[in-house]
């Protein structure tokens, strides 16, 4: 049974190399990467050779977050992913490809094609931060360890040039969850990966900051009505707008799977996105002054405040000693800074992280999905009246 399996991290430490790669130096002729920078080319070939090995994994940037990739067709590679992250094995993995041709040749059987319900979404959002659920038919080489024993697999084509080039050069569909220790905030910088996985993986490709900052949107067009299983880099409104009439009735799946319920996509079960410090989420609390002051009564500890759209500064609230970050005023900015700022203040040794929530509309849905799972406690302004 996969449900209760958690593969243990090997005790032995390995040398981790951090290899720079410039996504701007990579272009594509069809699906073939072309390099204008020798260092990037050399490092991509090294990483591609490593990730093609049985039992090996590589961390690499995507537009969403950094991924930890291993062959979706090799048991030992998938086991290495679970072991490095200490990830529960009933939490399925998303498979990353560099081309539509790879989907047909390496994931689906020859008798099957990508269901037509996805045609318009693929045309608009591939490559990009959208994952689609595909049926796993008899004869598909995708492993049970990847799908957690289910009959579907999530597949996406990342738009980050480093990710696409790595997959194309290795000609290997990569099962790739976020490249962090399980339960930790997802990594959006190579330094985040290094902090969590140094000594556990051989290579980290450093391609700079991720542009989206939260994981991909996951949709299921195999059911009726279609479902959004995880909000992410493509908003529900965009799915409805560009997916065609069959997506107009898109429904949102529940945020968290039950204890004994199969996990259909990553992020639906277990603790996620959490720093070491306690995270407290504030919803509908105006400028935050009253809510934060009430919450902080009789508390003496090191505190960080992560502001977004409406909260006043910590100094205006009366707290000159708070660590403070302004994550932005738009959902896109906040998503890009969310995990980075959670990690940054956590590394300062704070005990409490107070975070201002935003409206769960458009791109804000993905932000609040992550924050609600990172938070140990939620304060609602309506309860303070």
Same fold, 17-252 and 278-384: no
163 annotated ligand-binding residue: no
10-residue mean pLDDT profile of the chain (385 residues): values are: 45 86 97 97 98 96 98 95 87 95 85 89 98 88 89 96 98 97 95 97 98 97 96 97 97 66 55 90 96 95 97 97 97 97 97 97 95 95 76
Following CA atoms 21, 25, 29, 33 in sequence, which dihedral angle do they give, to the nearest 10 degrees?
Answer: -20
pTM of the model: 0.92
What pLDDT sits at residue 5?
Answer: 47
164 annotated ligand-binding residue: no
156 annotated ligand-binding residue: yes
224 annotated ligand-binding residue: no
Cβ distance 359 to 262 under 8 Å? no
What residues have CB less than 8 Å from 197, skipping those under 6 apart?
16, 59, 68, 84, 85, 179, 180, 181, 204
96 annotated ligand-binding residue: yes
54 annotated ligand-binding residue: no
Q: Specify which residues 316 forms β-bridges with.
A: none
278-384 has CATH 3.20.20.30 classification: no
What residues have CB less than 8 Å from 69, skipping those under 6 apart?
51, 57, 58, 59, 60, 81, 96, 166, 167, 174, 175, 176
Domain segments of the chain: what residues? 17-252, 278-384
144 annotated ligand-binding residue: no
As assigned by CATH, the class of the 17-252 domain is alpha beta
Instruction: Single out the residue of 60, 64, 84, 56 nearest to residue 204, CA to CA.
Output: 60
118 annotated ligand-binding residue: no
């Amino acid at each position: 049974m996969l449900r209760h399996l958690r593969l243990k991290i090997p005790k032995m430490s390995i040398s981790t190399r951090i290899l720079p790669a410039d996504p701007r130096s990579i272009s594509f002729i069809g699906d073939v990467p072309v390099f204008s920078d020798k260092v990037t080319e050399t490092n991509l070939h090294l990483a591609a050779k490593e990730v093609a090995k049985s039992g090996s994994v590589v961390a690499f940037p995507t537009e969403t977050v950094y991924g930890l990739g291993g062959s979706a067709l090799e048991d030992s590679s998938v086991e290495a992913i679970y072991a490095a992250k200490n990830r529960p094995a009933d939490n399925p993995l998303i498979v990353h490809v560099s081309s539509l041709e790879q989907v047909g040749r390496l994931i689906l059987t020859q008798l099957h094609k990508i269901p037509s319900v996805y045609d318009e979404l693929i045309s608009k959002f591939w490559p990009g931060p959208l994952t689609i659920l595909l049926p796993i038919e008899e004869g598909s080489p995708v492993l049970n360890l990847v799908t957690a024993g289910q009959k579907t697999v999530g597949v996406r084509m990342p738009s980050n040039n480093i990710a696409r080039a790595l997959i194309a050069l290795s000609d290997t569909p990569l099962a790739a969850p976020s490249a962090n220790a399980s339960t930790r905030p997802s990594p959006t910088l190579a330094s985040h990966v290094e902090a969590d996985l140094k000594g556990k993986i051989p290579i980290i490709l450093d391609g700079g900051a991720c542009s989206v900052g939260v994981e991909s949107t996951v949709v299921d067009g195999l059911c009726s009505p279609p479902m959004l299983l995880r909000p992410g880099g493509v908003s529900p409104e965009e799915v409805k707008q560009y997916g065609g009439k069959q997506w107009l009735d898109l429904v949102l799946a529940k945020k968290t799977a039950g204890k004994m319920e199969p996990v259909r996509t990553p992020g639906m079960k277990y603790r996620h996105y959490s720093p070491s410090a306690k995270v407290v989420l504030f919803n509908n609390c105006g400028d935050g002054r009253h809510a934060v002051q009430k919450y902080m009564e009789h508390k003496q500890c090191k505190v960080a405040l992560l502001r977004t759209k409406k909260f006043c500064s910590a100094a205006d609230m009366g707290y000159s000693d708070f660590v403070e970050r302004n994550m932005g005023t738009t959902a896109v900015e906040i998503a890009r800074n969310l995990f980075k700022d959670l990690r940054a203040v956590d590394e300062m040794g704070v005990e409490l992280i107070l975070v201002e929530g935003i409206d769960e509309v458009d791109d804000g849905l993905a932000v609040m999905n992550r924050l609600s799972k990172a938070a140990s406690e939620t304060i609602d302004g309506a309860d303070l009246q």
